[in-house]
Chain A
């Protein structure tokens, strides 16, 4: 009788085996599960067509606000930090600009504006940037002609995305610093701060 009872308990326990892990304390899922992960990408896939000391090629691109932004409109007024990021809705890109949203005062103190550019279309950029908070800088679409501005600067990759690049331009429209970072890595804020500090002769 006891043997039969143990046998029945054994069968019941065996049925529980697949669920053993559920007896651990439940852990919340990572919120980053919604972001597409392209995996590790080729670090660089383009050749720069500009260099420090060049006049920055002028351009006009549509912004997610519905207007058009021209680079030269900032001459005499603001230093410009062009931030090319490869694509919306991908991991490193999705957290680079929220950092710039958070550090607006730092850019204001350096008399600088950011122009955030990707090759995505306006609706995509609009949806993507909604989750970043109150974006204080223009977000521009280099969608059509596809990647034309990125190509002018030499940061258009062979798959149609752009490099992860920062182009620092002074109030005279001259390129003062360029950083084309490994596409898999976020460029440090330190580069921007050091560059703008040099431009503004601040210590």
Chain B
């Protein structure tokens, strides 16, 4: 009887620690930004916006973009939801520009999933999009970023010398300020580092 009680107690204690460890592992999984290469655009405003050092036509890595928070929109010219979302995403870009300051740089780019350069340009012109868009005709960037449909918004932050994906959202959002608030909260940036008006 005594042995049974001891054995039962040990099993329950071990179960407790297994469960707690499992939960802790679930929450502490860090998703590093994959090593993805893009081409430095010809547009000098884009080069300045992204903080790139290379010459147009040369390669750069996503992690080279100078941003405390980088938002990547996976979109497609053919996606009706992306088309409907475009005006709101433009507002998001403007809000991010308003909030950017020397110690907090917020940047957004778009990746045209399965789109050619022509299709990306057509989308940009059609919606008067001011932030850089990059074609991904063979979907290798989309798959590397584990895309789950379009539009998808991926939040990336710097963590020392590495870039970490901390947020994913598939589907349109209604309010660009609310989206940005939630994104900044998820980023874990300290409250005093972020001052934003709604």
Once the chains are docked, how many angstroms separate the CA of A197 from the CA of B18?
66
- Asked whether B9 lies within 8 Å of A7 as measured between CB atoms, the reply is yes
The answer to the question of A49 belonging to the interface, with a C-beta cut-off of 8 Å to chain B, is: no
- In residues 95-142 of chain A, which contact B (Cβ within 8 Å)? 95-96, 98-99, 101-103, 106, 131-133
| Chain A hits for B78, CB < 8 A | 95-96, 98-99, 102, 186
- Asked whether B27 lies within 8 Å of A24 as measured between CB atoms, the reply is yes
| Chain A hits for B171, CB < 8 A | 28, 30-31
> Which listed residue, B15, B77, B118, B126, touches A10 by the CB 8 Å rule?
B15
> Which listed residue, A6, A16, A102, A189, touches B12 by the CB 8 Å rule?
A6
| Chain A hits for B119, CB < 8 A | 99, 188-190
The answer to the question of A179 belonging to the interface, with a C-beta cut-off of 8 Å to chain B, is: no
| Chain A hits for B122, CB < 8 A | 102-103, 106, 189
The answer to the question of B13 belonging to the interface, with a C-beta cut-off of 8 Å to chain A, is: yes
The answer to the question of B170 belonging to the interface, with a C-beta cut-off of 8 Å to chain A, is: yes
> Which listed residue, B14, B26, B80, B114, touches A132 by the CB 8 Å rule?
B80
Once the chains are docked, how many angstroms separate the CA of A6 from the CA of B11?
11
Given contact pairs A7-B8, A28-B170, A98 touches B79 in the complex (Cβ within 8 A): yes
- Asked whether A98 lies within 8 Å of B26 as measured between CB atoms, the reply is no
- In residues 146-198 of chain B, which contact A (Cβ within 8 Å)? 148-149, 167-171, 186
**A3 to B: closest C-beta gap in Å:** 5
- Asked whether A13 lies within 8 Å of B83 as measured between CB atoms, the reply is no
- Count CB-based A-B contacts (< 8 Å): 109
Once the chains are docked, how many angstroms separate the CA of A189 from the CA of B77?
10
Interface residues on B, range: 35 or more
> Which listed residue, A10, A17, A95, A98, touches B22 by the CB 8 Å rule?
A17
| Chain B hits for A202, CB < 8 A | none
The answer to the question of A41 belonging to the interface, with a C-beta cut-off of 8 Å to chain B, is: no
The answer to the question of A21 belonging to the interface, with a C-beta cut-off of 8 Å to chain B, is: yes
| Chain A hits for B83, CB < 8 A | 98, 102, 133
- Asked whether A28 lies within 8 Å of B77 as measured between CB atoms, the reply is no
| Chain A hits for B27, CB < 8 A | 23-24
The answer to the question of A48 belonging to the interface, with a C-beta cut-off of 8 Å to chain B, is: no
- Asked whether A188 lies within 8 Å of B118 as measured between CB atoms, the reply is yes
List 12 additional contacts besides A20-B19, A31-B170, A188-B118; criterion CB under 8 Å: A7-B9, A7-B12, A8-B12, A10-B17, A13-B15, A13-B16, A28-B171, A99-B78, A102-B78, A102-B122, A189-B122, A193-B118
